[in-house]
Structure 1
Amino acid sequence: MPVRKQAVELVRLAAPVVIARASIMCMVLVDTIMVGHYGATALAELALANAFFFVLLVSASGLLIGTLIFTAKAHGAQNYAECGQVWRRSLPYAVLIGFAGFALCLLTEPLLLVTRQTPALAKSGASLTLMLGASMPILLCYIVSANFLEGIKRPIPPMVIMLFANIVNIGANWVLIFGKLGMPELGAMGSVIATILVRFVALCLILGYIWHMRDWQLFGVRIPDPNGWRASWRGWAEQRKLGLAHGLSAAIEASAFSAMTLLAGLLGTLAIAAYTIALNLIGMNFMIALGFASATTVSIGNARGAEDYRTARQIGWTGLALCAAVQATIVIAMAVNPAMFAAFYTTEAELLATVIPLIALTAWVIILDGGQGIMATALRGWNDSWVPTLTHLCSYAIVMIPCGWWLTQRAGHGPLGLIEAILIASAISVSLLCLRYIWLTGRHVRAAR
């Protein structure tokens, strides 16, 4: 397939996925902005809650990556009924993981106390985490359903649902955070309640769409596995095997970033609020990378299903280049005028002075972090499970955390040192993953000749 045709197909698939992923992150962005305007203390509470919950959520989402990859591969091989079976197997697995995640949320307060957070902040952050954890089964069922639709090249419905969910979230936040329309003023807790409500609405909408789509019979979404539960169990085991590596990789990266949040907490309320804003911008822009990563993985899976390995290899590089080109426009704006981005989050002069230098450096993190996200997912499209995991372990756990500690606690760089550590780790990660992709795909192409 010509590179130009690959690029057009990737953009066609990636655009709605990017919007959908960005919409998910936009809800976090809106929560951060609205709670930030409510007060710095409330923002710190929400940041600690999200730091712990984010680790669980990203890890759980990683465990479910098999839904996307196996659906895309079955779709490429024109085995449409298997696509529906992949989705049906994924739903109970998502519920199980969700309840396990909720149970782990009970550990939040002692863990926050161990990391030297103040008792008051640990208690309030833990209560918010527990509320978020209660909605994890709902959120994970939504994620596997969205992955299924993306795998069969129907990313528009999840995009529309998430855009609608953002509208609901803004209204619910306004009412519950600030106590409008006769409701009590709940601050950060109001934001969490709004989030839970929105997740439930989104799940109902996406399940309704899948269950009633016109070609539900073709994809077998209402039909149990005709080969019986043993065949279903074997298929689930294959999905789980791939998901375990990705889940561990996601857990390592998310845990490392949460550790950086805890390091920011040691620098004070102002530092953690500033770092949260910078991290929110990184996460928001990473949704662009996740959108292109999803499109890249689907296209690689389709090409491998059709046994076109040369095209599959080219798709990885095309996805990386397209993602970098799109992110570059945002990076330039952030580097040139970081104050404009900071003004969206806060009007407090002291917080603005702290966060503006962080945003200027964050701009360069975005390109490298997005690149490593694309290449890690592309490798998993080739069923390369464990090397990306080891790469993330090396880059983010072994390099980033010690660098962040040294730069903040010894070198005196303050919260800026945390962004510097992320920059170093992301550069190492994307370099190692690119080298792995060159070697692995070259081996597959040579073997297919």
Structure 2
Amino acid sequence: MTGRRTYGAHGRALLALGLPLVGSNLAQMALHVTDTVMLGWYGVTELAAVVLGASTFFILFILGAGFAQAVMPMVAAALGRGDETQVRRDTRMGLWLSALFGIAVLPVMWWSGPILLALGQDDTVAALAQDYLRIAGLGMIPALLVAALRSFLSALERAGIVLWATVAGVVLNAVLNWMLIFGNWGAPELGIRGAAIASVGTQALTLVVMGVYAAAHPAARRFHLFQRFWRPDWPAFVQVYRLGWPIGLTGLFEGGLFVAASLMMGWIGTMELAAHGIAQEIAAVTFMVHLGLSNAATVRAGRALGRDDGPGLRDGALAAIAMSLVFAALVVVLFLALPGPLIRAFLDPSEPQAGAIVAYATALLVVAALFQLADAAQVMALGLLRGVQDTRVPMLIASVSYWLIGIPASYVLAFPLGLGGVGLWLGLVVGLAVAAALLMARFWRRWGGRSEGAA
């Protein structure tokens, strides 16, 4: 960002960084979509189980990824100041914190079955979800390390490798799923366990590819990221921790909104949970575009902050918000015009409950169209606020919006008012809309009027 650029120049710079990040987010999402589609072909019970298992993994990942995400604005600001030593220090400690968190949550995934039963889930579905998590949990550490390296490389504006490493992972995951879920090509038929093994293998491959790039490519090699990696750097450790834990909790509050929705949908029924899982996957795919643009806005805002470029920060923010809202409007049209074909892609046509699942998920997608604009606005506001290293108050805003407003609204609309799954999703709209309004107001109140040299 620079104050002398036109909005078009800001937009082009944002797209140059944002498109590879959008692509990598979509590719990352394709890993989960592949699991959902193939297990949807395998069986409805297995599909419901992977919805719960993958949601649990994801919410733990989001909490731990706060440290990885803190690396992005910190490295961007350090590069804006020309401080290459701080780039290395922040990234290393982001990797340390990510690995430590991955180790800490392994017991939660190993004993996830009793937790899911206590939350009212079906016995069979909970047992299968635990089988999935006991294997998939081994991939938590590499997944978090990949997230930290992704932040480092994105801040360097080297997002292309992030995209191609993730695409390679998608291909590997699809091949391993086809072999291990169904027992093709002489492999054992492992069902949901096969999907978990495929996920772990994919995460390990992605980590190796990105680690080698960070160590060997000239654009990243000069930072000597892995030299004496074992040596602690406590000042940087504390800095990354202080910025990262609010990011992680913010992600937990947002992700928890959707996990709570999955749990409540499980109270309604297995068929309804399967339909919810499909609709949620479709909505999440479109959200990856907004998230990629938000990540790019974080980097651009961080660079502007490091250079004390107030006008560039403001104008770049406007360009990023406009792009995200245009895409959101296109998604609204897609969800309202073509819900059936999108949903049927996740189901075996011979499945006896396929018709009921399609009908239920179609109603949910209509509601998902309502929250596209709010979802786009809240994630973009979060990205901009992280770019200027403002994370604690946004965390509080998220906690109120998602947990004190969104989840209670979902429960009341779904059960006391009798609207079922549609009411549950309408509650999500309420929480996201409140978050979007409050977060945007905070960014523009604090940063919208900054002048040159006041970023």
TM-score normalised over the length of structure 1: 0.95
**1:250-269 to 2 correspondences below 5 Å:** 250-269=251-270
Which residue in the other structure is 1:102 paired with? 106
Matches within 5 A, 1:281-300: 281-300=282-301
1:388: which partner in 2? 394
Aligned-residue RMSD, C-alpha:
1.9
Distance 1:309 1:246 in 2: 23
Matches within 5 A, 1:180-199: 180-199=184-203
Partner of 2:416: 410
Q: How does 1:20-419 map to 2 (within 5 A)?
A: 20-224=24-228, 232-346=233-347, 347=349, 348-419=354-425
Contact 1:400–1:425 (8 Å) recurs in 2? yes
CA distance in 2, matches of 1:207, 1:408: 46
Q: CA deviation at 1:327?
A: 3.2
Where does structure 2 lack aligned partners over 5 or more consecutive residues? none
The one-letter amino acid of 1:207's match is G
CA apart distance, 1:197? 0.8
In the superposition, relative to structure 1, how do residues 274 and 292 fare at CA in structure 2: closer, same or farther (>3 Å)?
same
Task: Write the letter of the residue equivalent to 1:116.
Answer: G
Preserved CA contact (<8 Å) 1:85 1:220: no
Shift of residue 281, structure 1, vs aligned partner: 1.6
Describe the shift of the 1:253–1:107 C-alpha distance in structure 2 as closer, same or farther (beyond 3 A).
farther
Deviations 1:157-189 (A, max 9, x none): 010111111111111111111110111222222
Distance 1:216 1:125 in 2: 39
Q: Please state whether the residue corresponding to 1:219 is helix, strand or coil.
A: coil
Distance 1:114 1:445, change over 3 A: farther
Partner of 1:13: 17
Q: Which one-letter code corresponds to 1:336 in the other structure?
A: A
Shift of 1:213: 0.8
Where in structure 1 do 4 or more consecutive aligned residues deviate above 6 Å?
none
| 1:429 aligns with one of 420, 435, 439 | 435
Relative to structure 1, the CA distance from residue 155 to residue 422 in structure 2 (aligned partners, 3 Å threshold; closer, same or farther) is same
Give, in whole Å, the separation in 2 of the partners of 1:154 and 1:98: 26
Change (3 A) 1:202 1:321: same
CA contact (8 A) 1:81 1:220 kept: no
- Say if 2:250 and 2:395, in contact at 8 Å, map to a contact too: yes
Query: Aligned pair in 2 of structure 1 residues 224, 343: CA closer, same or farther (>3 Å)?
Result: same
C-alpha displacement of 1:256: 2.2
Please give the alpha-carbon distance, in whole angstroms, between the structure 2 residues aligned to 1:404 and 1:448: 42
CA separation of 1:385 and 1:33: change in aligned 2, threshold 3 A: same
- Runs of 5+ unmatched residues, structure 1: none
> Which deviations, in whole Å up to 9, do the C-alpha atoms of 1:335-393 show, x marking residues without a partner?
11211211111231121121111112212322321220110121121221122111111
d(CA) in 2 for partners of 1:236 and 1:425? 33
Q: How far is 1:20 from its partner?
A: 0.3
1:86 Cα deviation from its structure 2 partner? 2.3
- Report the alpha carbon displacement of residue 263 of structure 1 after superposing the two structures with TM: 0.2
Letter matched to residue 63 of structure 1: F
**Aligned-partner residue type, residue 179 of structure 1:** G
Give the whole-Å Cα distance in 2 for the aligned partners of 1:424 and 1:20. Answer: 29
Question: The residue matched to 1:182 in structure 2 has which SS?
Answer: coil
Distance 1:315 1:23 in 2: 26
Contact 1:64 1:240 in 2 (8 A): no
CA distance in 1, matches of 2:11, 2:220: 30
Go from structure 1 to structure 2 and tell me whether the alpha carbon gap of 1:23 and 1:409 turns closer, same or farther (over 3 Å shift): same
CA distance in 1, matches of 2:46, 2:222: 49
Shift, 1:204, TM fit: 0.8
| Aligned residues with identical type, % of pairs | 26
* Paired residue type of 1:7: G
> CA offsets, 1:186-207, max 9 Å, x none?
2222111111111111111111
Q: Which moved more, 1:22-31 or 1:356-365?
A: 356-365
State the distance in 2 between where 1:383 and 1:207 align: 26
Instruction: Note the C-alpha offset of 1:132.
Output: 1.7
In 2: Cα distance, 1:236 partner to 1:285 partner: 34
Q: Is the 8 A contact 2:308 2:452 kept in 1?
A: no
**Residue-by-residue CA offset, 1:220-256 (whole Å, 9 max, x unaligned):** 324459xx967x2111211110101111111122222
Report SS of the residue matched to 2:187.
Answer: coil
Residue 443 (structure 1) shift: 6.1
Count of residue correspondences = 446
Alpha-carbon distance between aligned partners in 2 of 1:153 and 1:447, rounded to the nearest angstrom: 23
Give the AA of the match of 1:387.
Answer: V
8 Å Cα contact 2:97-2:241 kept in structure 1: no
- Tell me, in whole angstroms, the C-alpha distance in 2 between the residues paired with 1:10 and 1:216: 21
Residue type at the aligned position of 2:139: S
